[in-house]
Amino acid sequence: MDTVKTLVNDSFKDKEPWKIVTITTGSVLSAVWLWNFINQNESVLERGRKQIFRLIRYIPAVRDKIEKELSTLNDTFEKEALIRLKDVEFVTRLPIHGLSHEEVIGEVEKLVQL
């Protein structure tokens, strides 16, 4: 143990304090990053694939195609929702006297069938 202490002291004896702090901080952060990188649930290949696809999304042609598809999907969803909900009455105010248990169940069943 004494040899390690001597080795460290000899390595840093000519360094300024700010350099020692910078080297120590960088070493600790690098070690933590490496530990987290190695000990993740996903394999390195899976993480690499995900990163590649994230980077591919930055290509303008790919980004435009993704945005176009999402816009089309959103428009289709809105149209289908409007068609499905056109005859549905929405409760915008609570009834003064409330609803019975059976009436509440009936309303829920009606809405679930949408």
**25-71 residue pLDDT tens:** 999 999 998 888 888 888 888 888 998 999 999 999 999 999 999 99
pLDDT of residue 101 exceeding 90, the answer is yes
Q: Is residue 27 part of a domain?
A: yes
My answer on whether 56 and 111 are in the same domain is yes
Q: Which is nearest to 88 in space by CA: 63, 59, 113? A: 113
Expressed as residue numbers, the domain containing 24 is 1-39
Confidence at residue 73, expressed as pLDDT on a 0 to 100 scale: 97
> Quick one: pLDDT at residue 89?
82
- Its pTM surpasses 0.75: no
Q: Are 20 and 12 in contact (CB under 8 A)?
A: yes
CA 36/CA 32 separation, integer angstroms: 6
Rounded distance between C-alpha atoms, residue 76 and residue 82, angstroms: 10
8: nearest Cα among 26, 23, 18, 28: 23
How much is the average pLDDT of 69-79?
Answer: 96
Tell me what percent of the residues of the chain surpass a pLDDT of 90: 42
Residue 1 clears pLDDT 80, i.e. is over it: no
Conformational region of residue 58, where left means phi above 0, alpha means psi within -120 to 50, and beta covers everything else: alpha
**Residues 74, 79, 80, 86, CA torsion sign:** positive
94 confidence band (pLDDT: 50, 70, 90)? confident
**Domain shared by 31 and 7, yes or no:** yes
Domain count across the chain: 2
Does residue 93 form part of some domain?
no
